[in-house]
Amino acid sequence: MSSITGFNFNLSFRHLYIQFPAQSRRKIEYGCTCTAVRPVLCSTSSSVSHSDENHVSTSYSRRLMTFMITFLLPLPKSIQLSGADAYAAADDLVLVQEEIRKVLSKSKAAGVLRLVFHDAGTYEMDDDSGGMNGSISFELDRPENKGLKKSLKILVEAKKMVDEKQPVSMADMIAVAGAEAVSLCGGPKIPVRLGRLDSMVPDPEGKLPEETLDASGLKQSFQRKGFSTQELVALSGAHTLGSKGFGNPVIFNNAYYKVLLEKPWLSSAGMTSMVGLPSDRALVDDDECLRWISKYADDQDLFFEDFKNAYIKLVNSGAKWRRDS
């Protein structure tokens, strides 16, 4: 087969596609990876149907759109994919994104993004426990996860449709959904790698940062999870979405930091005292955090870039991966 490098790129690209057509994609030898989700929520599909003509007819256009993105996305050498596997991974990601977009709206974005933080936020470096593993499915009755059942439910519906063509873990669904929520509301586009395995048990309790922590406590909590103060401040910007009082609740921008600098909770004007959580307000009282708050308030592009990188790190924290991912 011809190389895909050099002047013969177009010709060899066609050969590469013919070598690995959609209808001969790898069979899935593992079962449904959504083991953290209760059986009633899981699809029984375990392989890609060879008779799915609609998928075959649209596969080439999807692969063409995602080909360059897949090969340009930087990955550690140990997990770089071969041509056929990279095609399949890109195709699978597009499938997940398409189904999520069908059920996701701007009004649901904040809840979906919160789902990401509450699943991944249990990670602890010391014992490599918790993290992005879909265990939130078992943890919805915990007080800190109140209100997340609706957010998970819409992803379960999307997952059923994905599983009919390609089994996917709930951890992957949540990770991609959070990125789609950010993009839908005007934030940065965030590339998310697939291949996470779901946990079969809930994560230990008491691992999420508490809303009442001061800045010192927040920094210590995030350090145990492998995140710097800068990453703590960048990830906190997710609170720009939702009903916490930081600008438009369905627009992802740097309004969070601008409002923090104004300190409206010090005002005696009614509900302005309710803006944000105690942990949000605490950030402004810490010199190191304040330095990053000021930078992000002045430069939205910088915030977007740093949030994107911190988000990728968050959804990879504690994840266990399929061997072929």
Angle subtended by helix axes 287-298 and 229-236, to nearest 10: 50
What radius of gyration do the chain's Cα atoms show? 21
**CB burial class (10 A; 0-12, 13-18, 19+) of residue 51?**
exposed
CA distance 241 to 224: 26
**Distance between the two ends of the chain, CA-based, in angstroms?**
24
Instruction: Return the SS3 of 220.
Output: helix
Q: Hunting for tokens 């990125």 — which residue is that?
A: 179
Which residue's entry shows tokens 């939130």? Answer: 136
Give dist(CA 128, CA 65) in Å, integer: 37
Which of 15, 55, 118, 239 does the annotation list as catalytic?
118
The burial of 311, by beta-carbon neighbours within 10 Å (0-12 exposed, 13-18 middle, 19 or more buried), is given as buried
Sequence-distant (≥ 6) Cβ neighbours of residue 58 within 8 angstroms? none
Residue 265 to residue 78: CA distance in whole angstroms = 49
Whether 118 is a known active-site residue: answer yes
The conformation of residue 33, written as its DSSP 8-state character, comes to: S
> Which stretches within the chain are classed as H helix?
9-19, 53-72, 83-103, 106-120, 149-163, 170-184, 215-224, 229-236, 255-262, 278-283, 287-298, 300-316
| Whether the Cβ atoms of residue 237 and residue 134 lie closer than 8 Å to each other | no
Measured between alpha carbons, how far is 304 from 240 in angstroms, rounded to an integer?
A: 12
Point out the residues that are catalytic.
118
